[in-house]
Chain A
Amino acid sequence: MDYGIEVRDQEAVIRLRGRLTFNDHAKLRALIGEMGQNKLKRQVLDLSSLEFVDSAGIGMLLIAREEMERAAKQFILRGAAGQVKRVLTVAQIAKIVPIED
């Protein structure tokens, strides 16, 4: 998995690319650190270029969400498609994290 962060006026948009699995723990740690460091209140994870996510990837997204809550920031998942959208649905993540199309 790779990611890029775009800081806009109202929100930081983090675009994830590739496959997010248990093996991406180091990148997720770095990502959570970067999300905490920028000043914006809205942190949007753009999942439209993410091809595959596993249960550990979902778990790491939930950790990111929890850390943003601790930092009093909003955390939003956006643009999930295909397998990613399907896993988010099956794991009922919408109950915990706001999901936008």
Chain B
Amino acid sequence: MIDGTIQGTTEETHQATGCRTRFAGLLAPGLLPDRLDRLALALRLSPMQAPAGPAPLAVLLAGDGTAVPESDALWLPPVAAWIEPPAGTGASDASARLAALMAEAEASDLYLNLTTATAHDLQLGGRLLAALSARHPLEGDRRDDVELALHEAVCNALVHGNLGVAGMKELSAQELERFSRDLGDRLADPVLASRRIVVTLRIDPAEDGRPLATVEIADEGAGFNPGPRASSGASGRGLDLIGTIADGLTLEDGGRRIRMRFRL
């Protein structure tokens, strides 16, 4: 697995395996330096203390909630991947799993793979928008709209997908209370909180030559059937808003994966 992701492979090999991003370095705020060094060595990346240089970097986010990067710099170029290392039974197991995620990251222009517990507080919609906009500037209403679409898709994946919390159907304070309680209970459930959200973003030229961003957001929930939605309740507007904003919207894997396209 690691062999397929090493630096120094020929360009032809990278194209053949769908490599879009060749990572040069690894950042891991919150990890002990010797652990960062070991992981970086296993992935054949340079361990780094702060973002620098033009080559793409990956950030490892520790899953204990103590190392959430508040620094905006960790969400901007050259950082192109944000990964919470999978729990492993041993050091070699953990680095093999991480190598598999790095291979997924290499096939994207931007990549994010986090547990629900970590993703929940990060305002990922805004973070993804900032990362995208730093590469292809978005302004004014379009910027606001794309941020909202990304935010809604992330929230759906976390709240309704991974945590399985039902939307607020009735317009009542009791229903808001029920939503609040369910959300708290399920975030406290270690099985649900460790379910992952995976975001991949690719930018390609559209038929008219303008760049087109394709964003896929996948969760590990029960999926859902996008049938007719009642618009009279407190929930149920998110997907419609995304449909209004995005230039393409498809649901796959039984509703566990949403693919959105945005002209940039």
The answer to whether B237 and A29 have CB atoms under 8 Å apart is no
- Determine chain A's interface SS by DSSP, over half rule: helix
Report Cα–Cα, A90/B145, bound state, in Å.
11
- Determine chain B's interface SS by DSSP, over half rule: helix
Instruction: Return the CB mask of A58-99 against B: 1 if under 8 Å, else 0.
Output: 111011011100000000000000110011001100000000
Q: A25-B179, A29-B180 are in contact. Are A62 and B234 (CB under 8 A)?
A: yes
Q: A55-B237, A63-B172 are in contact. Are A22 and B180 (CB under 8 A)?
A: no
Instruction: Return the CB mask of A2-23 against B: 1 if under 8 Å, else 0.
Output: 0000000000000000010111
The answer to whether B235 and A59 have CB atoms under 8 Å apart is yes
The answer to whether B241 and A90 have CB atoms under 8 Å apart is yes
The answer to whether A59 and B148 have CB atoms under 8 Å apart is no
Chain B stretch 166-192: residues in CB contact (< 8 A) with chain A: 167-168, 171-173, 175-177, 179-180, 183
Chain B stretch 85-132: residues in CB contact (< 8 A) with chain A: 120-121, 123, 126
Which residues does chain A contribute within 8 Å of B120, judged by CB atoms? 23
Measured between C-beta atoms, what is the minimum distance from A34 to chain B in Å?
A: 12
A40 at the A/B interface (Cβ < 8 Å)? Answer: no
Report Cα–Cα, A19/B147, bound state, in Å.
13
Q: A62-B171, A86-B141, A86-B144 are in contact. Are A25 and B237 (CB under 8 A)?
A: no
B residues within 8 Å of A by Cβ? 120-121, 123, 126, 141, 144-145, 147-148, 151-152, 155, 159, 167-168, 171-173, 175-177, 179-180, 183, 233-238, 241, 244
A residues within 8 Å of B by Cβ? 19, 21-23, 25-26, 28-29, 32, 52, 54-56, 58-60, 62-63, 65-67, 82-83, 86-87, 90-91
